[in-house]
Amino acid sequence: MVKNYNLKIKREEKFEKIFKKLDNSYKTKVSKQIKKIIENPEVGKPMRHGRKGTREVYVSPYRLSYSFFLSDDEEDEGEDIYKLIFLDLYHKDNQ
């Protein structure tokens, strides 16, 4: 079951830098996964240990790392607003 979330979406500078360098075929693949994540942020695999609090999806041959959590901003207080932050995009061999 997909829950409707009120989302604030952000892309980290590191993610943007790597995304801009991708060729168009990979940009298309990554963009499709981003749309899926926005539709259902819980779709990614929850990470453990040092990466706890983040999720990842596989976009061959890359891994897209993102964080999804209830916003703690003062302006969002009392509302169910979640933050979705795209953190990193890295080659699966460079974990």
Q: Are 87 and 12 in contact (CB under 8 A)?
A: yes
Position 24 in a domain = yes
pLDDT tens digit string along 7-37?
999 999 999 999 999 999 999 999 999 999 9
Q: In terms of residue numbers, what domain contains 17? A: 6-55+64-94
Position 1 in a domain = no
DSSP assignment, residue 94?
G
Q: How far is CA 9 from the centre of its chain?
A: 9
pLDDT tens digit string along 44-94?
999 999 989 999 999 989 999 999 998 888 777 778 889 999 999 998 776
Predicted confidence band of residue 1 (pLDDT cuts 50, 70, 90): very low
In total, how many domains does the chain have? 1
What is the phi/psi pair of residue 52, to 5°? -55, 140
Position 41 in a domain = yes
Q: Are 47 and 56 in contact (CB under 8 A)?
A: yes
CA distances from 35 to 23, 49, 86, 93 (A): 19, 27, 12, 25
Q: Are 78 and 6 in contact (CB under 8 A)?
A: no
pTM score, two decimals?
Answer: 0.87
